[in-house]
Structure 1
Amino acid sequence: MTLSYSSDAPAASSSATPQYLIFFSSGSPPWCPDCVDAQPAVQKVFGADSGLDGHIVLVGERPEWKSAENKFRKEYAINCIPTITKVVNGKEVARLEDSECKDVDTVAAFVQA
């Protein structure tokens, strides 16, 4: 499955099949250096041949992200980017944050758990 990109998180799936929300900075290239560093691991693990349900959620430009009112900070309790959340049956069951998202082995183990 190909990664989808959106400035809104998709509706939580009620499926037992994991859904992954990957919170990243906006821009091309992303303004966040940690997101830039995480891109290779995310692309490798969630690439077209992965069969995973992955969605990159763009949190906004730097001023928008830094606001305490940012919708992803409030609604999803995202405090740093990148963050990868695993959603099963409509509930978040696990997450990786910041530097954990940069290591391909860590991200691969996360989706296999």
Structure 2
Amino acid sequence: MTITTSNDVPSSSGDKPQFLIFFSSGAPPWCPDCVDAQPAVDKVFGGSNVDGHIVLVGEKPEWKTPDNRFRKEYAIKCIPTITKVVNGNEVARLEDSECKDVNIVANFVKP
């Protein structure tokens, strides 16, 4: 339905699931795995009634530091990562190659 993008995590939307897509910065993204996941993300979040928010984790040097805030605050170990958040709490996640498969991503966002 809608894909939004920013350098930060938006505030929680209550009991409606929120999907956060942690992705590399840049146009095109510097991360080859993010480039490979882009078609699945676009198809699922751009063509359904589910909203997704792309959170840009920074340029490569910023992402690679152990002090990257998304690594510390959200336990993001790899990109791309898609998290499902309900009432401000993460309830599920997809990581790396799972984010590249349109069927896996589509099933992940089903209610």
Q: For the superposition of Structure 1 and Structure 2, which TM-score range results when normalised by the shorter chain? A: over 0.9
Cα distance in 2, alignment partners of residues 2 and 28 from structure 1:
19
SS of 2:98's equivalent?
A: helix
SS of 1:107's equivalent?
A: helix
RMSD, aligned α-carbons: 1.0
Compute the TM-score of the two structures, normalised by the length of structure 1: 0.94
Aligned residue pairs, count: 111
Structure 1 unaligned blocks of 5 or more = none
Q: Which amino acid aligns with 1:111?
A: V
Offset at 1:51? 2.0
Cα distance in 1, alignment partners of residues 38 and 51 from structure 2:
17
Offset at 1:12? 2.2
Percentage identity across aligned positions? 75
Compute the TM-score of the two structures, normalised by the length of structure 2: 0.96
Q: Which amino acid aligns with 1:79?
A: K
Please list every run of at least 4 consecutive aligned residues from structure 1 whose deviation after the TM superposition is greater than 2 angstroms. none
Structure 2 unaligned blocks of 5 or more = none
Cα distance in 1, alignment partners of residues 2 and 110 from structure 2:
18
